[in-house]
Amino acid sequence: MTTALVTGATEGIGYELAKCFARDRHGLILVARSKEKLERAASEISASCGVHVSAIAQDLSVQDGARRLFDEVRSRQIAVDFLVNNAGVGTYGPFAQADLERELAMMRLNMISLTVLTKLFLAEMLRRGSGRILNVASTAAFQPGPLMAVYYATKAYVVSFTEALANELRGSGVTASVLCPGPTRSRFEERAGMGASRLFRLPWVMQASEVAETAYRELMRGKTTIIPGLPNKLLAFSVRLGPRKLLPSIVRRFQEPGSP
């Protein structure tokens, strides 16, 4: 049986992606910070899909969290065929007022742990000559984001890193894909403190299940850059056409509280 490892797997896009893999009879390793939530998610998916689901509680925002996860998977002698780096957080507010430690933890989670896990599991995939990696970014990656300056920058890193990696992996039997969802109904906006933002009041905000279905389908096809939903595709494309100096002001307008 093939196995998918999904980080940030207890809710939102990660949970829905886990269900997509289980539906197609792939075993699962679910990873998140909360052991209680993990065990509940693992039980639900295993009962509904009849596949083996392992749960590993690990905080990937701490130093060496990613390496500890890799070592735990290796100690269980589980080969990972699909790696889904979904875990991520955001912070909201002016950069000068943001808590430094919280932003550093976000950078470790959104960029460093993602890179470490990709590096470590990729080596095993290359030895086998097969495997698929899905890194979760955002349409935030395509422009600067006032009021979420560091978050937007972390997602730009994920896109650049994954697209370059995909090129390097051509012909190896391993693929790398990056998912760039737009605003999505999940608990992300609540945790980031941006529930009142105009961004999440737009008419094309997607459900996590919709995003996951598109991501899973395109991952299996080997597509490199996955942008679910036509409005999000148009947004990503339009950024390339507009004057760069206007982008921060436009993005800030959507980030601020109020009606769209």
Q: What is the pLDDT along the chain (260 residues), one digit of tens a residue?
A: 899 999 999 999 999 999 999 999 999 999 999 999 999 999 999 999 999 999 999 999 999 999 999 999 999 999 999 999 999 999 999 999 999 999 999 999 999 999 999 999 999 999 999 999 999 999 999 999 999 999 999 999 999 999 999 999 999 999 999 999 998 877 665 565 555 556 656 666 899 999 999 999 999 999 999 999 998 888 888 777 666 766 776 667 666 675 44
The SS3 of residue 79 is coil
Distances (CA, A) of 216 to 135, 171, 173, 227: 12, 21, 18, 12
What pLDDT is stored for residue 180 in this prediction?
A: 97
DSSP letter for each residue of 197-222: BGGGGSTTPEEHHHHHHHHHHHHHHT
d(CA 8, CA 11): 7
Short-list 70, 75, 68, 62, CA closest to 112: 62
Whether the Cβ atoms of residue 92 and residue 148 lie closer than 8 Å to each other: yes
Q: What is the pLDDT of residue 179?
A: 98
Q: Which residue has the tokens 């999505």?
A: 184
Q: Which residue is listed with tokens 């992996």?
A: 169
> How many separate domains does the chain show?
1
Place of tokens 């697209």: 163
Asked if residue 260 is part of any domain, the answer here is: no
What residue spans of the chain are helical by DSSP H? 12-23, 35-49, 65-75, 100-107, 114-128, 149-168, 188-192, 208-221, 230-238, 247-255
The pLDDT score that the predictor gives to residue 98 is 94
What is the residue range of 231's domain? 3-255
- In the sheet with 53-57, reading across from the earlier edge strand, the strands are 53-57, 27-32, 3-7, 82-85, 131-136, 174-179, 225-226
In this structure, what CATH number is given to the domain that contains residue 200? 3.40.50.720
Closest CA to 85 of 160, 5, 163: 5
Catalytic residue among 151, 152, 157, 216: 151
Instruction: Give exposure, 224-260, as e/b (b: 16+ Cβ within 10 Å).
Output: bbbbbbebbeebbeebeeeeeeebbeebeebbeeeee
In a domain, 198, yes or no: yes
Residue 152 lies in a domain: yes
151 is annotated as an active-site residue? yes
Whole-number pLDDT of residue 33 = 95
- For 29, other C-beta atoms within 10 Å of its C-beta total 26
Helix (H, G, I), strand (E, B), or coil: what is residue 28?
A: strand
